[in-house]
Amino acid sequence: MKRIVAKRTSKEFWEKHPDSEQYLKTWYDIALQAAWNTPNEVKQTFASASIIGNDKVVFNIRGNNYRLVVKINYEKQWMFIQFMGNHAEYDKIDSTTI
């Protein structure tokens, strides 16, 4: 990806949840280097990711302790972090409409 929008959101999150920091940094580094053109290519990199439509993907962070919802523009090669939280917080949202 050429660009990942909302990295500051990640930093703020790992400051509240220090156990997620290294996992989020690793996800960020992998995603930044990726050149995904389809959801299937995302799944090849992150097998546990869930493709939820509208170019959105849910990534499991730190052994599925946290969820990361990202909108991907495959053509322009950018990603926008739309949600980051634990399972209880994730269960309160509709990831398809955020």
- pLDDT for 34 equals 94
Q: Return d(Cα 63, Cα 80) in angstroms, integer.
A: 22
The CATH code for residues 3-91 is: 3.30.2310
Q: How confident is the model at residue 31 (pLDDT cuts 50, 70, 90)?
A: very high
Whether 46 shows a pLDDT value over 90: the answer reads: yes
Q: Are 73 and 55 in contact (CB under 8 A)?
A: yes
> What residue ranges do the domains of the chain occupy?
3-91
If you average pLDDT over residues 46-72, what whole number do you get? 95
Q: How confident is the model at residue 9 (pLDDT cuts 50, 70, 90)?
A: confident
Q: How many CA atoms lie within 13 A of 29 on its CB side?
A: 6
What's this model's pTM, rounded to 2 decimal places?
Answer: 0.92
Q: What tens digit of pLDDT does each residue of 66-90 get? A: 999 999 999 999 999 999 999 899 9
